[in-house]
Amino acid sequence: STPRMARLVSFKYAESNAGQVVKDAWESHRLNLSRCYIQNVSAAMARQVTAKDPYWRYTRTENEPLPINVASVSIGIDGTCMLFCEEGYRQAMVGTIAFFDATGERLHTIYVAAAPEHGKATFLERMDEEIARVRLNFAEARYVAITDGATDFVPWLKGHTTTQILDFWHAAEYIKPAAAALHRSSKAREQWTDDACHRLKHEHGAAKAIFKEFKAARERPLGAKIRKDLEAAISYFGNNLGRMNYASYRKRHVPIGSGVTEAACKTVVKQRLCGSGMKWKHSGADDVLTLRAITRSDGAWDAFWK
């Protein structure tokens, strides 16, 4: 394969399955390619991306914002399931490094992905390397971690960030079910839920106040389902109060949602590797995820080829 052919084939394979790339190559370029050829060339390109990573990653891409324009950098990691030939469903990992300006507007996002592995060592190593590179160019930015409340990677995130934030929307999801313990009528529940979410987002100390309301509701006679929802909310708020000062975060224009990372699970993994009837081997999945992450990181694909 020539470099130009390798670029064409591997990019298309990152976007679609081999059968679709065969059709596209013929219709668009009158190239008669085999599925194996497409897979082999793409695998070779994924290895090149990894092998040359120390060289091209430290070159600023044309789409990367200037350090003076970046006020904060958010780091997020999440997992999503995909189907493997021999092991069934396993969790692939996706990481995002998003850049925000002083008004809270997202400027740029870097994606990292890896096939399922025990301990997540390869994935975390890739994230470590990418964050180290980012810190060299954006040393003055505030580094924040946004999580959904899971504790698996909290120690790792604390090592890379100065501020840890609980995703606002995950916190809000616990408020509506628990409202049934405070009010009997559906109208009162809805009104209290809207008010509580507004306070949580805009008022200092709101999380602690709502937490106290939840605990006070324990004394009321409640059904089993309502009590279960209430206890879940109490546990969730109690474990995360230190990361729920959303009014303060918003005042400093720091992001409070993990939507970038959750969307990455869909766009990087689900849309390409979880099609109807798809099953993967580890090597093939990691090759596609490597290519998929770099093509999704605006400017990284061109930087690699240059």
What pLDDT, in 10s, does the model give residues 78-120?
Answer: 999 999 998 899 999 999 999 999 999 999 999 999 998 877 8
235 CB-near residues (< 8 Å, 6+ apart): none
Q: What average pLDDT does range 217-243 have in this prediction?
A: 94
User: What pLDDT is attached to residue 55?
Assistant: 79
206 CB-near residues (< 8 Å, 6+ apart): 196, 199, 200, 246, 247
User: What pLDDT is attached to residue 117?
Assistant: 82
Other C-beta atoms closer than 10 Å to the C-beta of 113 total 27
Which residues are registered as beta bridge partners of 165?
Answer: 146
Helices 35-51/282-296 angle, 10° precision: 70
Instruction: State what percent of residues in the chain have pLDDT above 70.
Output: 99
Rounded CA separation 217/96 (Å): 39
Q: What's this model's pTM, rounded to 2 decimal places?
A: 0.92
- With a cut of 90, say whether residue 22 has pLDDT above it: yes
**Residue 117: exposed, middle, or buried by beta-carbon count in 10 A (0-12, 13-18, 19+)?**
middle
- With a cut of 90, say whether residue 216 has pLDDT above it: yes
Q: What average pLDDT does range 6-26 have in this prediction?
A: 96
* More confident call, 149 vs 160: 160
- With a cut of 90, say whether residue 200 has pLDDT above it: yes
Contact by Cβ (8 Å): 83, 278: yes
Question: Which helix H or strand E contains 146, and what residues bound it?
Answer: strand 142-147
User: What pLDDT is attached to residue 19?
Assistant: 95
Rounded CA separation 152/148 (Å): 11
Other C-beta atoms closer than 10 Å to the C-beta of 306 total 9
